[in-house]
Structure 1
Amino acid sequence: MIMENTYKESAPERPEAKRSVFLWIDNLVNVDFLTQKRKPINYIPYVLYLTILGIFYISNTHYARKLQRQIIILEKDVTNLRSDYTQSQAKYMNTTKYSEVEKRAKDMGLERAEKVPYQIIIKK
């Protein structure tokens, strides 16, 4: 029995693995150089500094958003109070007119004086 030479069948090509974001970041940011010269424990102060800085940044952002919400609420209150003040001022201006005062005085039974007021002087 004579064997023939045949070509080896190649395995079916596997589709290329999908590139994920994490693989891209891993290839972009290679941090192996950090452990080549120094021990990882030497980096603890830097990591703590960056952690504290991050916490400060986050807390500052939350505080700013809280203040912004309070400012919006207070601006609405100021708008409402300004309109109330304008209405009260208009009402006051209307009620202090001479004709309005005279109408209210008539309702209470008061009449306009016919004589001019005069001063009584007592000599000792």
Structure 2
Amino acid sequence: MNRFKKKETEKAEKSKAPTSEGVKGVRGVMSGNFLSGTNVVSSLPYIFFLTFLGICYIGNGYHAEKTIRELYKTNNEIKELRSEYITTKSELMYISKQSQVARATEIIGLKELTEPPKKIIVEKKDKKIKKID
């Protein structure tokens, strides 16, 4: 017998080795042989259910990404508003300093006092109230 033919028959025998049911099932799914079987109609609800779960999984991923993008956007907006708040607060503190207020009031003719304020005391006198009948 021919050497090459022997090798081919040995390879064929090796490929015909018994395989487990799990391997056959995976091969059937990968090759598409499970669709040509008679029990395809009975497994359609299960296939539709798996398809629905896959679509829900993909949609959930998109929703999570959208939520994360909105979260980053909101955090950036918060940082911008915080910096604007700090800037405005520091400007207000600078404008409300006594020297700045005095400089702004000089324009309209008001001057800063050099003497301390004086206390005005009013003495109460006893007054009788007459009632008119």
Which category of TM-score, normalised to the shorter sequence, fits these structures? 0.5 to 0.7
1:57-98: CA deviation from partner (whole Å, max 9, x where unpaired): 111111111112212222221222122112111111111211
Residues 122 and 40 from structure 1, CA distance in 2 versus in 1: closer, same or farther, beyond 3 angstroms? farther
Pick the aligned partner of 1:30 from 28, 31, 36. 28
Q: Which one has a larger percent helix, Structure 1 or Structure 2?
A: 2
1:1-124 matched pairs, under 5 angstroms: 29-31=27-29, 32=33, 39-113=39-113, 114=115, 116-119=117-120, 121=122, 123=124
How far did 1:108 drift?
2.3
Aligned length: 96
Q: CA RMSD in A?
A: 2.5
Residues 97 and 78 from structure 1, CA distance in 2 versus in 1: closer, same or farther, beyond 3 angstroms? same
TM-score (normalised: structure 2): 0.59
Residues 116 and 55 from structure 1, CA distance in 2 versus in 1: closer, same or farther, beyond 3 angstroms? same
1:84 maps to amino acid: E
1:29 maps to amino acid: R
Unaligned runs of at least 5 residues, structure 1: 1-27
TM-score (normalised: structure 1): 0.62
Instruction: Determine what percentage of the aligned residue pairs are the same residue.
Output: 31
3-state SS of paired residue (2:28)? coil
1:41 maps to amino acid: V
